[in-house]
Structure 1
Amino acid sequence: MESLFPSYSSLFELTKRRLRGLKKIASKNTGKINDQDAFLFMLIGNINLRLNTICFLMGNNISDGVYVLQRTIYELQLAFETYSRSSDKDKFLQLYFRKKDYETTNKWEKLVNSISDENSELFSEIDKEIISVMKDQSLIALKESTKDRPLKVWYELASEKSTKQLSNEYLSDLEYFASYDEPSNWVHPQRLEENMSNNFNQYIDDNYFRLLIGVLRWDVKWLAKDIVYITNHLNISQSQQLFEYGKKLSEYDGKLRNIILDEKEG
């Protein structure tokens, strides 16, 4: 696997440069990018970041954890698809940050309440009261933005649709299965025998390996599509730099494809 897997590092850096250039164009008129566009760039930047992490691991013959990362890429892409098409992006932003605040304070409150007597010195009564108030305030703010259950994902709350409904609307059943549903078995350890050999070495079955290469090709396709969306959003009709960037993404996709072809021929 190590000798076959193509490095993504140069493309990772190139993607960052292209995003920085597009972000500069987005802020050209006012000198500052607006919050709605900044969030789009944040989503794409995180997709690029996690794809780089997966490729780094695979390039170093490490498959452990990559399916977990792939599921987060799928969620980021689904968020991008949903958010970019929304006519009320401010609602998405509001729910993202309010959900973030709620999840943080809610988990801190659970920790504080679970501390045993022998560890009670970790938090003072004032600490506990502050955390409780912050949690209550974050929940009130979240409920002001949605009538749905606060445990749902922020883009589910904003769109008022489930992840599966959004997947059916914007992506395919196969993409949902391979990039989200099946990787859940690694998020919740239900692939133990597929992750390690009997002599305790790292292991990934050939079928799962080929499946992973397939979803990585989707990641590259999604990244290219997201960049195209941004260029259209910014009314950029032609750019030699972006054209060359698109060619490099296509070349990388071809390298991933060749891994499977070489494996079949071998």
Structure 2
Amino acid sequence: MVLCSAIPRYGAILGGEQVKIAFAINGTRGDVQPAVVLAAALTERGHEVSVGVPPNLVEFARGCGLEATALGPDTRTHMKMVTEARAEAGRNPLRKMRAVAQLRDLGYSELITDLDDIVAGADAIVTGFTTEQMTLAYAERAGIPLISLHHAPVRRNTVHGPLPSLHWGGTRTVLAQWWLFDRLFGLMTRRRDALLRERLGCAPALRSPAAQLVAAPGIEIQAYDPLFAVRNDPVWDADAARRPRP
């Protein structure tokens, strides 16, 4: 399995040896389902797998034969609060900014508290897009690879930007979108990430979130239909050469 190929570099030789792989997945069923399929396949191969998913999806994961525990808040409640905040903000830009600030850290304390137990003793951590930054700190502390599981292309490229509704402009505009998105995300999460890293004994982050992940040991599994794959893109390919994206 391609996921296991990332682990031998860090001391877990898989020539019959079992390893422990921790899954830390936040989001809706669309985020969790690919991870559950992968976790079940690894369990069948004899590996020790710990799975953390939102409370409302624990039974779904257990129904697939996994020993799942709750990670973070109920995502149905979270989605409801986001919808209500957006409706209240309307088209007022100041209200929108306040809503983003209020929702930014919603459920964060629960996530990092639950992560302590889920990733303990793991040889690798598998995570989704929304929890990459926090799980990266745990992976760094343990000296293990971080395996990203993406359900859509969520890395910079020259064709599709992070704001798909903005179709105007060319390559430079798309790359500018990615640059701006990365910087804004870094500014919004800088304080909480610094506190988490300090608590875990990790060095302070000196690069943007995207730059940290490109340099992080591990791979990024593209778990979606090949129809949506980014192909022959110089920016995507250059980053993938540093952190493989099978």
TM-score w.r.t. length of structure 1: 0.27
**Structure with bigger gyration radius:** 1
Bigger strand share: 2
| Structure of greater relative contact order (alpha carbons < 8 Å, 6+ residues apart) | 1
Bigger helix share: 1
TM-score w.r.t. length of structure 2: 0.29
